[in-house]
Chains A and B, each alone.
Chain A
Amino acid sequence: MKPVAWLAGAALAGLIAWWAWPRGPAVPEAQAAVQRGAHLALPAAPASAAASRPQGSPFTDAALRERLAQRDLLLQRLERARQTLALYRDQTRYPHESRPIAEHPDQVHPFAPIRESLPLRFPGSKGAIPGVRILTTQDRVFMSGEEVVKVSVSAQDEAGKTLPLLITRAVAFDLPDPRQAAGRPQLALDFSGSEGVYSAQFQPSRTAFADFAGTLRLQVTLSQDGRQGVINFDVVYQSLVPAEWGAISDRVADGSLDFVVGLNVKQAGRYVINARVDDAKGQPFALVSFNEELGSGAQTAHLRVFGKLLRDGAPAMPLRLRDLQGFLLLPDSFPDRAMLARREGVVYKSGSYSLKGFSDAEWTSEERNRYLAELGKDVSQLEAQIKPPGQ
């Protein structure tokens, strides 16, 4: 907003707020309405608006209602501005790279298979076959090098009872991509069944797709009691494995606990790495991450458990680093990543440290200061617009 317009607007809003400001308990009522979720509707006209209008008021009833609506909007803007500031201030007590695991509910077990419940149908049909759900699992989407994807499929009725199922066709093929030569032959997939659950593995590096980079679709045609449908599993494959994991150590640095993860980087670039931190009892505690540029050769990625997070959460020591994963981010391309091999399970245990040895100071940074200043300014400016002169 241009400064002249802002100053004029602020002055006008201040005048309106001063004139329209009710004496008495109206403000708490308006704020309560905001909390209830009242949403920007104009207040209804009073039964006898003329009678409620202050004597000598230069405004019509409609103008009064308009000013009240504007004041309500200001209050709601103030409420959102306060929420925005409070959220930011509260969450950034810890850095973005060192978070309570509770904030990341679907990242606690990143290698658990993706489970979905899907209708039995063919594409293009508006409806699905009633009474049949197809349950699928897939243990990864993004994969590189020698990785293997495992998938499974089964059928259930609405009560959860497994239904007989036939796989009539299962093939792997590449999805169209202008960067890839088209026309690679489809590959047949082998599914094996046990108690109604069929599973298969697919390793692109051992197939004609070894040098492929893009989306591979595993397409399965199903027949449940003669009723047919199709299920697709997609994986995004990139043959490049950009780095190898090295040794892990830990150390106290800047009042925090750093897990120092060694890497032998074959291709330099931005690496995105994360892992879970469990306490000594195996309770998930934190998600730690790294997202920075690395050069080639021997490198380290520091996964920091922030001091205040340790002090506030007081996990039982020693801490366990679990389910380490990472990839090289390939900007503005597809696939957008080349994966490192998964490190599943507990990959490292820290030393046993006294929690008092860690800092309980909140995170500080230029980024946080910038945000708190701007979001705080928004709140104070709105408060100034709402606050009547002289109060």
Chain B
Amino acid sequence: MGQTVSRRFLMVFGAALVAVAGASFATNYSLWVNGRTGGGVAGNYADFTYWGPAGTAAGVNKKAVNWDGYSHISDKNYLVRNALDCYCTGTNWCYVAAHSAGDLMIGYTLAMYGGSARYKKNATPGSDGSCANSDGTTQTGWNIKWVDVAAGASGGSELANAGDWALSEPLVSDLKTGTARAMYDHNNTRSKMFYLWAGAKGTLYSGVLPGQDDEAVAYHSSGGVSGSGGGSYCNPSDWFCNDLTLGTAPTEGGTAKWANHTVVFRDDAEAYNHYTNGNWQGTVGLVRTDMVNYAK
């Protein structure tokens, strides 16, 4: 009897040690993917210039996945894949936050490359933002738990349609509503939930951006509404326009949201615009709070 007990004790103790040892190599990271205009140095994961002061809390082990916010999504996508390879493979896991065109960037990444074989990396990036292989083995896709999106532009913006934004900027042509929506299957998130924050403090372009907008994107994009662009979606206080519903439910009027897209925040008070102002502002501030609370 005593021998049995001590054997069981040793088994349990051994299992506990294995669990602790395994845990010691597992790290969670919070990856922030910027939008148009960029600002941070590509490959420097500590440079939060786009977002705000780097000392601000923004989720566990935060990393800035910088790209220029100017080039085509496809041209700079390797920077995002590099970051995901570095921090979201092997025993490491990631939470992802994205703003504006960063939504298009991460959605494109998952839809196009989310099922590709990835070398497991050592999470120690070089100056170009890439990491060395850890053990030479591969895995399918990346380890991502969920994605937070502020003012998502994966549905495009009418400001890109008519030429309000500079023609010389390659990203602008990606952000044309028809192009952004045709670029990839937005429903294909590989079963990761996209949590959406949609701002509505837009006034300058109310004649251009349909329904509610944050001065750069309308609710049809920031609210993850599927189908063609141009749909008008509003807050419940507007009786003459279909509501953008919270959650995953179709909009008032019955248009479905993209699969695995859920509206966490709709700006009923019209208090949040599109811009970070270099200080974690706009809906990015709300996403930052969510990352602090949930990305542990």
Contacts and interface: CB of A to CB of B under 8 A. Distances in A.
Nearest to A92: B191
Interface of B is mostly: loop
A87 B260 contact: yes
A88 to B, nearest CB: 5
B185 A116 contact: no
Contacts, number: 163
Nearest to A107: B185
A103 B74 contact: no
A9 to B, nearest CB: 9
A40 B260 CA distance: 23
Contact of A80 (B23, B73, B294): B294
A55 to B, nearest CB: 33
A215 B176 CA distance: 11
A194 interface: no
B191 A116 contact: no
Nearest to B73: A336
A42 B183 CA distance: 42
B164 interface: yes
A104 interface: yes
Given A234-B173, A334-B75, A103 B187 contact: yes
A386 to B, nearest CB: 14
Nearest to A177: B170
Nearest to B290: A40
Interface of A is mostly: mixed
A119 B207 contact: yes
B162 A104 contact: no
A117 interface: yes
A335 B289 CA distance: 37
Nearest to B225: A106
A367 interface: yes
Contacts of A375: 145
A331 interface: yes
A389 interface: no
A8 to B, nearest CB: 13
A236 B93 contact: no
A232 B162 contact: yes
B110 to A, nearest CB: 10
Interface in B172-219: 173, 176-179, 181-182, 185-188, 190-191, 193, 204-205, 207-208, 210
Contacts of B244: none
Contact of B164 (A76, A124, A233): A124
Interface of A: 1-3, 6-7, 37, 40, 73, 76-77, 80, 83-84, 87-88, 91-92, 96-97, 103-107, 114-119, 121-124, 126-128, 138, 140-142, 175-177, 215, 230-234, 236, 270, 272, 274, 289, 291, 329-336, 365-367, 370-371, 374-375, 378
Given A103-B187, A367-B139, 4 more contacts: A87-B260, A105-B187, A116-B228, A334-B72
Rank and list the top 5 A-B pairs by shortest CB-CB distance, nearest first: A336-B74, A123-B163, A127-B207, A141-B182, A128-B207
